[in-house]
């Protein structure tokens, strides 16, 4: 049949490559993002990413909200580890307001932050497993993510988008069930993690799928603004927890694991090792928390009534708490003017908050540094010349969270 019978788009006969649309709702993208791959056979010639499908204008919305109402917005950035974002936001506010938190609060925060780091990493790593054809690990670790979510539930009442903590501390003290569940997690999870690693780390299929897939050199990774496990897999030992310690991380003893090649396998190993380090951090923090006795063991927030939203039961029964509650909610307390940048080590890297305040009760400008957004642009460089199946596995091992990317 000749061209006279079928009208084809211009240039489509001469074209030797295939265009493949991956996303925005493809199951392998694990989120709403689009990749347009240009393929030569099964080799990737070029890629183009489209993001913004779940952009919710958080930065704009934040300009009309008082500080304590911005916490739920941060939940929805990286929703696999919402408490890390919450804590980052509280620390930013505390830095601006000059609030100093008691040690016990810091340690409780570390327990929560490291738990959420574990929950994030184990999802990412098990998804790498799923994308390379091993579903078992994913289902197995889900049980323990559930346990982590139950711990959140005991502390703040919600599971995924936690809105945990307040400026100055927590909304209530950890109850006994929460501590029991943390103990249970510390006792049971190491065995599971070991088993999970046995399933993958020296598995020949897994190794062949991941070694050499999507490598990046340390220099390029830095130039691309990589942070977190993805940067450490490339061999740079940059970790906000050690470089700019916050929340008393300087009191703890832990290692920062690094890789060498920055490929999917190294990213997997680095995340696994970070899970072990997080377990050790939780254990240390738990011990330190147990050392507080008597009245000290009841401290769960800083003594800053002008910023700390009082507990509801106090609001209903105590005059002073009611007054402060009213003042905070009605916006009678202004924040100081100034510019603050505070970052925390999120699950994907440095989660930063740039807060510009001109006084008043709402931020003048708030910018989130979202690690996902910054390192996703390296995707083309990571996958050029690789196979289509590598693109999938690179995507999952970078741990791309659409919520964080699109803000």
Partner 1 sequence: MTSDYIKQKLTEKFGEQVIGFEESYGMMTFESPKDINLKVLNFLFDSEDLKFRFLTDLCAVHYPDQKGREIAVVYHLHNLEDNVRLRFKVFADINKPDVYTATGLFSSANWMERETYDFYGVNFIGHPNLKRILNVDEMDYFPMRKEFPLEDQSRIDKDDEMFGRGGTLGFGTEKTDHGTLIEADKNNIGGEIV
Contacts with partner 1, residue ranges (CB under 8 A): 51-52, 55, 57, 59-61, 63-64, 95-96, 220, 222-225, 236, 238, 243-244, 338-341, 343, 350, 352, 354, 356, 362, 364-365, 367, 369, 373-378, 406-407
Q: Closest separation between CB of residue 378 and partner 1, Å?
A: 7
Beta-bridge partner residues of 344: 351
Nearer residue to partner 1 within complex by CB, 254 or 354? 354
Return the sign of the alpha-carbon dihedral for residues 310, 312, 318, 319. Answer: positive
Closest CA to 46 of 380, 398, 282, 393: 380
Nearer residue to partner 1 within complex by CB, 189 or 238? 238
Beta-bridge partner residues of 350: 345
Q: Closest separation between CB of residue 169 and partner 1, Å?
A: 21
* Contact present, 44 and 387 (Cβ < 8 Å): yes
Q: Closest separation between CB of residue 369 and partner 1, Å?
A: 4
Nearer residue to partner 1 within complex by CB, 64 or 384? 64
Q: How far apart are CA 304 and CA 307, in angstroms?
A: 6
Return the H-helix or E-strand segment holding 368. Answer: strand 365-369
Return the H-helix or E-strand segment holding 47. Answer: strand 43-50
Q: Closest separation between CB of residue 380 and partner 1, Å?
A: 10
Return the H-helix or E-strand segment holding 38. Answer: strand 34-40
Nearer residue to partner 1 within complex by CB, 108 or 236? 236
* Contact present, 120 and 347 (Cβ < 8 Å): yes
Nearer residue to partner 1 within complex by CB, 125 or 343? 343
- The interaxial angle of helices 264-291 and 103-131, nearest 10 deg, is 150
Q: Closest separation between CB of residue 335 and partner 1, Å?
A: 13
Nearer residue to partner 1 within complex by CB, 98 or 133? 98
Q: Closest separation between CB of residue 390 and partner 1, Å?
A: 21
């Amino acid at each position: 049949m000749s061209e006279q019978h079928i009208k084809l788009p211009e240039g489509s006969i001469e074209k030797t490559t295939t265009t493949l649309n991956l996303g925005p709702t493809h199951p392998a993208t694990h989120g709403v993002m689009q990749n347009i791959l240009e393929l030569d056979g099964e080799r990737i010639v070029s890629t183009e990413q489209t993001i913004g499908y779940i952009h919710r204008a958080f930065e704009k919305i934040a300009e009309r909200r008082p500080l304590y109402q911005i916490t739920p917005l941060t939940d929805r950035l990286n929703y696999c580890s919402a408490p890390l974002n919450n804590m980052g936001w509280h620390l930013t506010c505390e830095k601006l307001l000059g609030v100093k938190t008691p040690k016990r609060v810091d340690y409780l925060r570390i327990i929560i932050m490291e738990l959420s780091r574990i929950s994030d990493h184990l999802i990412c790593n098990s998804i790498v497993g799923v994308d390379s054809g091993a579903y078992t690990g994913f289902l197995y670790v889900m049980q323990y993510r559930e346990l982590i979510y139950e711990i959140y539930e005991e502390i703040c009442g919600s599971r995924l988008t936690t809105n945990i903590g307040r400026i100055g501390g927590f909304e209530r003290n950890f109850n006994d069930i929460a501590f029991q569940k943390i103990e249970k997690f510390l006792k049971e999870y190491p065995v599971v993690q070991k088993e999970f690693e046995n399933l993958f780390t020296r598995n020949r299929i897994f190794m062949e799928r991941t070694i050499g897939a999507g490598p990046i050199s340390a220099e390029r990774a830095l130039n691309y603004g990589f942070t977190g496990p993805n940067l450490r897999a490339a061999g740079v030992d940059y970790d906000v927890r050690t470089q700019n310690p916050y929340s008393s991380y300087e009191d703890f003893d832990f290692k920062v694991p690094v890789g060498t090649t920055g490929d999917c396998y190294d990213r997997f190993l680095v995340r696994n090792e970070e899970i072990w380090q997080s377990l050790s951090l939780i254990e240390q923090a738990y011990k330190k928390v147990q050392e507080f006795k008597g009245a000290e063991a009841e401290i769960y927030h800083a003594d800053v009534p002008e910023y700390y939203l009082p507990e509801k039961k106090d609001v209903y029964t105590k005059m002073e708490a009611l007054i402060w509650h009213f003042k905070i909610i009605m916006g009678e307390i202004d924040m100081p003017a100034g510019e603050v940048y505070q970052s925390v080590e999120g699950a994907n890297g440095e989660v930063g908050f740039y807060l510009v305040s001109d006084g008043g009760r709402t931020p003048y400008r708030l910018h989130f540094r979202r690690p996902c957004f910054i390192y996703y642009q390296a995707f083309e460089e990571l996958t050029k010349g690789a196979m289509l199946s590598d693109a999938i596995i690179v995507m999952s091992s970078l741990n791309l969270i659409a919520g964080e990317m699109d803000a």
